[in-house]
Amino acid sequence: MNLLYTDIEDQLRASVKDLLTDRATPTSVLARCETDAPYDLALWRELTGLGVASLHVPEELGGQGASTREVAVVMEELGRFVAPVPFLGSAVLATTALLGCKAGTEVRELLDALGAGDKIGTLAVSLATAPGSGFPDVVRADDAGLHGHVRSVADGLPADVLLVPARGPDGPELHAVPVAQQGVTVTPVVSLDLTRPVVDVTLDGATGTLVAGPDAAESAVDGALWTAAGLIASEQLAITEWCLATTVAYLKERNQFGRPVGSFQALKHRLADLWQDLVLARAVARNAADDPGPLSASLAKSLCSTVAVHAAEECVQLHGGIGMTWEHPAHLYLKRGKADSIALGTAGRHRQLLAPLANL
C-alpha cells in the first residue's frame, strides 16, 4: 500500500495542470457553460493526446498500462479546474465497463477509439446509480432493438457511443450503441452541475453491438460503477482543496473591522477544521486509488462526499456577498460538489454498503 504520490504521478499531474492552467481558466470555464458548446472538445483532444484517456487500459489492449492511481491523479486535476471534458464518462465509466467485457475485436476497437480521443463514450446509466444496487432495469433488448429511457446520464452530450446496459431475453446485456442513428435521442437537461451537465437518453429501436452477454454484463457494469465511485473521491478531494485554498487566500486579503477577516478566530477555526477534513479525505481517496474495491471505494466515497460539499458550502459562506455572485467561480465548485455527492451513490448509501464489509 502506497498512499503517497509517486514521481511519475507528479509528472503526470504537472503536464495536465500546465494544460489546464492555460486552457481552463475560471473565466473561460464560466463563460462556456451557458453556450451551446458546454464541453471543451478541443481541450479534450489535447488531453487525450497526453494519453490520459487510456491510463488504466493494459498495454496489450493499446493502453498506457498504468493503474487507477494515475487515473485518480487526473481526476484530481480536472476536478481542481472543474474542466468541462468527458473524462468521467469516457475514460472512467465507459472504458472500465469495456475492460470488464471479453476483449473481442469490437471491444478493442472501441477502447482504441476512446483512448485516442477519436470517439467519446459514456455508460448509459443515471449518474446517481450506486454500485452494488443491481443491474439497471430501464432498457429492454429484443429483436426489435433497444427500448427504454435513461435519465440523468453524465457526459452524454458529447458522446458518440453509449454503453447501454439492457435486459435481454436471457438476462443482462451490454450494448455499444452509436448515438448517430434514428433510434437514439439525447436530450440536454438543465443541470445542477454546470460543468458536467447530464442528459436524458431515449432508445426507440436503437441498434448496436453486443459487447457483453449475461455472463459478463452485470459484472462489467457494476465494476465500472465501483471503480468510478472510488475515483470520484479524488475529484472530491480536489474540490475540497480548491475551496480551502481559495477561501484562505481571500480571507488573508479581505479587510473588515480594520483587520484581515482571516485573523478572526471564529473563521480560522472553521478553516482549520476543513484542513483536518482534507487530511482524512486525502488518505481515503489515495487508498481507493491504490487498492480499488468495494470497501475502499465506499469508504472514500462516503467520507469525501460529505467533506467536499462542506468545503464548497464554507467557501461560499466565507466569501460573503462575492461568494453568492455568478461572477465568482465558487458556485461552480458548490454545484460540482453537490452533484458529486449524489453521483454513484450518496454518503449514506455507501455507509450502508460498508456495513456488511465492516461486519456492522
For residue 186, list its beta bridge partners. 201
- Please identify which residue in 175, 196, 286, 335 interacts with other proteins, judged by CB under 8 A: 286
- Please identify which residue in 34, 60, 180, 360 interacts with other proteins, judged by CB under 8 A: 360
Cell of 344: 454513484
CB 111 within 8 A of CB 63: yes
CB 294 within 8 A of CB 230: no
Query: From the CB of 304, what's the least distance to other proteins, in Å?
Result: 9
What DSSP character marks residue 143? T
Q: What is the DSSP string of 208-222?
A: -EEEE-TTTHHHHHH
Binding of other proteins by 311 (CB under 8 A): no
Query: From the CB of 258, what's the least distance to other proteins, in Å?
Result: 9
d(CA 67, CA 62): 14
- Please identify which residue in 133, 182, 263, 325 interacts with other proteins, judged by CB under 8 A: 263
From residue 161, give the alpha-carbon distance in Å to each of 121, 201, 238, 308: 5, 12, 29, 31
For the chain, the C-alpha Rg in angstroms (whole number) is 20
Among 2-10, 14-22, 71-79, 309-317, the segment contacting other proteins (CB under 8 A): 2-10
Cell of 68: 487507477
Query: From the CB of 268, what's the least distance to other proteins, in Å?
Result: 4
Q: Cα angle at 234 between 14 and 308, to 5 degrees?
A: 120
Query: By rule CB under 8 A, what count of residues binds other proteins?
Result: 41
- Please identify which residue in 199, 303, 318, 343 interacts with other proteins, judged by CB under 8 A: 303
Cell of 202: 431515449
The values of phi and psi at residue 4, to 5°, are -90, 180
Among 88-96, 109-117, 218-226, 266-274, the segment contacting other proteins (CB under 8 A): 266-274
Binding of other proteins by 69 (CB under 8 A): no
Binding of other proteins by 232 (CB under 8 A): no
Query: From the CB of 321, what's the least distance to other proteins, in Å?
Result: 21
Whichever of 71 and 261 has its CB closer to other proteins, that residue is 261
Binding of other proteins by 317 (CB under 8 A): no
CB 90 within 8 A of CB 112: no
Binding of other proteins by 7 (CB under 8 A): no
- Please identify which residue in 69, 119, 167, 282 interacts with other proteins, judged by CB under 8 A: 282
Query: From the CB of 294, what's the least distance to other proteins, in Å?
Result: 14
Whichever of 209 and 352 has its CB closer to other proteins, that residue is 352
3-state SS, residue 77: helix
Among 30-38, 48-56, 118-126, 276-284, the segment contacting other proteins (CB under 8 A): 276-284
Cβ contacts of 329 within 8 Å, gap of 6 or more:
26, 29, 30, 82
Binding of other proteins by 319 (CB under 8 A): no
CB 120 within 8 A of CB 47: no
Residue 3: CB atoms within 10 Å: 13
Query: From the CB of 243, what's the least distance to other proteins, in Å?
Result: 13
Which residue ranges make up the site for other proteins (CB under 8 A)?
A: 1-4, 244, 248, 251-252, 259-260, 262-265, 268-269, 271-273, 275-276, 278-284, 286-287, 299, 302-303, 348, 351-352, 354-355, 358-360
